[in-house]
Amino acid sequence: MKTIKITIIAIVGIFLFAGCGKTVSTNTNNPTSKNGDTPVTDGTATIASFAFSPAVLNLKTGGSVTWTNKDSSPHTVTDGAGAFDSGSIAQNGTYTFKFSKAGTYTYHCTFHSMMVPAKVVVTD
C-alpha cells in the first residue's frame, strides 16, 4: 500500500513539473500578446490548408504584413475594399503590403471563395 502511495505521488509530481518548462518570448521590438491583440510593427501570415493564419492580425499604422503561401495551389490576398491585391501567389511565394492608414482590412482569396476571409486591424 505504501508503494502505491509513493508511486502516485511521484506521478503527480512529474505532471506538475512538466508544465514548468514553457518558454516566454521576450521580443520587445515587436511585441505581441498570447492571443494576438497587441498591435505589432510588422507581422506575418500564412496560407496553409486553404486557410489564412492568423485569422486576425493587429498591426500598428505604418507596419507591414508578409503573407507566405504554403499550399501547392496558388492563392491571392485581396482586400474587399480594394486597398491591396497580391495577384497570384505561387507555392512558397510571398506578398508584402505596408499599411499606412488605420482601419480594418478584410481580405480573401479570389481563387477560392470557400476560404474564410481574414482581417488586419491597423491602429495608431
How does pLDDT run along the chain (124 residues), one tens digit per residue?
555 555 445 444 444 344 443 333 333 334 443 456 789 999 999 999 999 999 999 999 999 999 999 999 999 999 999 999 999 999 999 999 999 999 999 999 999 999 999 999 999 9
Note the pLDDT of residue 12.
40
Note the pLDDT of residue 100.
97
Measured CA to CA, the distance from residue 70 to residue 49 in angstroms comes to 8
Measured CA to CA, the distance from residue 39 to residue 31 in angstroms comes to 8
Question: CATH no. for residue 96?
Answer: 2.60.40.420
Contacts of 124 (CB under 8 A, 6+ apart): 60, 61, 102
Measured CA to CA, the distance from residue 99 to residue 123 in angstroms comes to 10
| 106 inside domain | yes
Number of domains in the chain: 1
Query: Is the pTM for the entire model greater than 0.75?
Result: no
Domain that holds residue 61: 33-123
